[in-house]
Amino acid sequence: MLASLSIKDIVLIDQLQLDFAAGLSALTGETGAGKSILLGALGLACGDRADRAMVRAGAGQAQAIALFEPPAGHPCYAVLEEAGISAEPGEPVILRRSLSADGRSRAHVNDQPASVGLLARLAETLVEIHGQHDGRGLLDPKTHRELLDLFAGVDARIVQSAWAQLSAARRTASDLAAARDKAREEESFLRDSVEALDALAPEPGEEARLADERKFLQQAETALTELQDATDALAGGEGLSGRLNTALRGLERVRGALGGDADGEGDAAAARAAVDRAAAALDRALIEFSEAEDSLQDAAQRFEVEPGRLDAVEERLFALRAAARKHSVEVDALADLRRSLSDRLDLIDHADDRLKEAEAALTAAQADYAAAAGALSTQRVKAGAALADAVLAELAPLKMDKARFQVRIETDEDRAGAKGWDKVAFEVATNPGAPFGPLDKIASGGELSRFALALKVCLVGEAGKVMVFDEVDQGVGGAVADAVGQRLARLAQTGQALVVTHAPQVAARANMHFRIEKGQAGDAVRTTVRELGSLERREEIARMLSGAEITDAARAAADQLMGA
């Protein structure tokens, strides 16, 4: 629902705030009073092309703000989410457009900067403006298929699901065929590579282990020489072990000569104690020396390597690195590469079987889609006939009884998609014997609005938008104008409709009535709009009936229209 429209410095309007409610709102006034300014301001807020001539003379900037209150689940919230503008379901949506005197414009949605294109996309979901030569909304051929589906109450999700499965099956078959063909081109290379990698049998982490071993082997010969020199140094001459043993035997003889107890007193006891300490030290030295000899021998054995081992390690390491360079991978990735190449070979060996399975799945998906799309086409044809009958029934009271309406459905399997393979167009013939043609090309200005009204009444179950009709009653009066008013009131019962009208029969059926007036304000002419109370409505409808002079008879007729 359009809750309010705020206008500032647009053409003849200084500042204006209009608040609307659900139901039918009528805007009336003398010709030239400025009704088109209101529609122009609404169009500006809804992303229409801006013209700097709209800026009021002497003002630097014009502004239009349209505040909508859509129900939760309205399509506009999906548009907002896609655009990255946060809005809770059921939260008002505010479209604001500013236009400077130099022609530059700025757009905002919920006080966040936005593009004019986003305003237009949101407006497409929120409002339809049917003017004298407006081809949007119901009159836009791009919307006809969706409108017919809404009228028919069909569930297109079955077709959408079948299309998704068909698309996936096509991709699978195409990818398998392309992979098979590419693999066959590389078959010789693949087989040679897998054979070579099988022979090489690379293992994860092997490069690091071989590199460490190679470094050790390269240093082993030098280390072994140094250890041998150390061993020789210990065993040089008569050997350190022999000299230590000789010294220890001499001390034993001295201890034997001294005799006695080392714990006694006097010089003899002190000498015996010193000899004991020296003997103990030599004994420890002999033990450490023996351990050192054993350790040197053990270390030397550790560096005694298998002859030719270094060559073998280097050969293996270089072979792994060469294979990695050939395939442009790390050495540790060779094992995974071998599996990948083997899988590609397996694809070649079993490609035909897999492709046959994919093609069988594709054939089944095509059949499922054809069945779903065909069923949808049948529903559309049936609904098209019903919609044509319904619209024709609405046209006669609208003084268009000679007009014909049809729903043309063209089925083309090459145009298949998620919404079926039908092209839907609403067509009319306004004169007997004339060929059918596009609705927005054949109908005249007044006919166009009445066609839109008839269609909208028939499509009342369609997701609700604010409907705006500009002089839908042009060129008609009496019973026809009353029929227009009846249909507008019926249309507004489940939503909201705004109508710019010169017909009292239409204005009398409105829930809200606004009068647009143009008057002198100092040296300037200004347009004002005010909501009318019940007595003012009576006077306005009487004026529309009688002209400049309002008679009692006109007032009585107005009472009769308002009570109808």
Angle of the 445-458 helix axis to the 334-395 helix axis, nearest 10: 110
pTM (predicted TM-score): 0.62
The conformation of residue 549, written as its DSSP 8-state character, comes to S
Which burial class, exposed, middle or buried, applies to 539 when counting CB atoms under 10 A from its CB (0-12, 13-18, 19+)? middle
Q: What is the pLDDT of residue 87?
A: 85
- Regions of the chain short of the pLDDT cut 70: 33, 131-139, 217, 219-242, 244, 254-268, 293-294, 296-309, 440, 442-446, 460-464, 475, 564
DSSP codes, 120-176: HHHHHHHEEEE-TT---GGG-GGGHHHHHHHHHT--THHHHHHHHHHHHHHHHHHHH
SS3 503: coil
Q: What is the pLDDT of residue 118?
A: 94
Work out the number of other CB atoms within 10 angstroms of the CB of residue 100. Answer: 15
Q: What is the pLDDT of residue 236?
A: 56
Domains observed in the chain: 1-131+471-531 (3.40.50.300)
Which burial class, exposed, middle or buried, applies to 343 when counting CB atoms under 10 A from its CB (0-12, 13-18, 19+)? exposed
What tokens does 227 get?
């250890």
Based on C-alpha coordinates, what's the Rg of the chain?
49
Q: What is the pLDDT of residue 132?
A: 54
For residues 108 and 88, what is the distance between their CA atoms, to the nearest angstrom? 17
Q: What is the pLDDT of residue 135?
A: 47
SS3 326: helix
Identify any residues that bridge with 499 across adjacent strands, giving them in sequence order: 26, 469
Angle at the Cα of 352 (from 348 to 353), degrees rounded to 5?
110
Distances (CA, A) of 40 to 13, 45, 134, 489, 530: 12, 9, 12, 24, 18
Please enumerate in sequence order all residues whose Cβ is within 8 A of that of 165, keeping only pairs 6 or more positions apart, or say none.
Answer: 365, 368, 369
What tokens does 301 get?
């054995």
Please enumerate in sequence order all residues whose Cβ is within 8 A of that of 431, keeping only pairs 6 or more positions apart, or say none.
Answer: 402
Contact yes or no for 242/229 (Cβ under 8 A): no
